[in-house]
Chain A
Amino acid sequence: MIVVYAITALLIILGMFIAMARGLRGPTLYDRILAVNAFGSLTVLMIAVLGFLMGRPEFLDIALVYVLINFIGTIAVLKFFEYQDLGRQSSYSRRPK
């Protein structure tokens, strides 16, 4: 069983390198945003697989927190991309009540 986990881990690392190549070379911004998202998901998968590979699957909940943290970064990037500014209020909160 541990061989299966190890092969999975290596394949995930391979996927990480592919996402990395797209993020570093990516000609447009959207390539980079997608690469960041894919890499975050792969990190979470990697933590999950590593937990089972090393016989300590207690850290699965930490993987979930990583998803949330990665999502904050993605939201900041998208907001910057949309408004060129992070402190600006969104159109939703500026709507008259």
Chain B
Amino acid sequence: MVAIVDFALLAGLAVWALGIVHLRSLFGAAMMFGIYSLHCALIFVVLDAVDVAFTEAAVGAGISTVLILSTLAITGAKLEVRHSRAMMPLLITGVIGAALIYASLDMPLVGDPSAPANLHVVPRYLQGSAAEINIPNVVTSVLASYRGYDTLGEVTVIFTAGIGVLCLLGRHSRKRSRRRRE
């Protein structure tokens, strides 16, 4: 039963992607991208990666929709429609996609306990985290303690990116509103 649900959700994701590519309204596409991200997050929840799903929903559906919309507000939502059909890019994309699918056949299954990635440090984390970190959730103890420096680096990157976006967008609107007041 769960397999049927998984398959239906993945098929929905493919339909979204193709539909958005065919959309001719940039505003509509920006909105649909937000929903696409929410759909992605749903699939991550199905795959039991709740933290990834959370990030995907917050960044993909929340922030990036707002960012794309503010980009549209600054640049204007006009699209030049080209009617030529480019076969070469389609061919290249098809070949690379087929190669990636062929390569994925060699990968271990999702959640396979004997996969190399699950044999390296995972058993040690699973056995030692309760005694060493004293947090019941192993994912939390890995993120916040075992890989604390890694997480600190990620937070720094995201914080810097946030400051950059604020500098780009915030200064723009403040200058304009000041001009309006004068």
Given A77-B65, A80-B73: A62 touches B45 (CB 8 Å cut-off): yes
Determine how close the nearest CB of chain B comes to the CB of A33; give it in whole angstroms: 7
Interface string of A9-23 (1 = CB under 8 A from B): 110010011001001
In the assembly, what is the distance between CA of A80 and CA of B8, in Å? 33
State whether B46 touches A76 (Cβ < 8 A).
no
Q: Does B142 lie at the interface of the complex (its beta carbon under 8 Å from any beta carbon of A)?
A: no
Q: Name A59-97 residues within 8 Å CB distance of B.
A: 59, 62, 65-66, 69-70, 72-73, 76-77, 80, 84-89
State whether B32 touches A24 (Cβ < 8 A).
yes
Give the secondary structure class of A's interface. helix
Q: Which of B35-43, B88-96, B122-130 contacts A (4 or more CB under 8 A)?
A: B35-43
CB within 8 Å: A-B pair count: 123
Closest chain B residue, CB of each to CB of A46: B42
Partner of B34, one of A73, A80, A89: A73
In the assembly, what is the distance between CA of A48 and CA of B34, in Å? 20
Query: How big is chain B's contact interface, by range?
Result: 35 or more
State whether A32 touches B177 (Cβ < 8 A).
no
State whether B57 touches A77 (Cβ < 8 A).
no
Given A10-B4, A50-B46: A65 touches B169 (CB 8 Å cut-off): no
State whether A69 touches B73 (Cβ < 8 A).
no
Determine how close the nearest CB of chain B comes to the CB of A26; give it in whole angstroms: 8
Q: Does B117 lie at the interface of the complex (its beta carbon under 8 Å from any beta carbon of A)?
A: no
CB neighbours of B2 from chain A (8 A): 53-54
In the assembly, what is the distance between CA of A29 and CA of B54, in Å? 28
State whether B1 touches A53 (Cβ < 8 A).
yes
A residues apposed to B, CB below 8 Å: 2-3, 6, 9-10, 13, 16-17, 20, 23-24, 26, 29, 32-33, 35-36, 39-40, 43, 46-47, 50, 53-54, 59, 62, 65-66, 69-70, 72-73, 76-77, 80, 84-89
Q: List 11 A-B contacts (CB under 8 A).
A: A20-B19, A26-B28, A36-B32, A39-B35, A50-B46, A54-B2, A70-B62, A73-B61, A73-B66, A77-B65, A80-B72
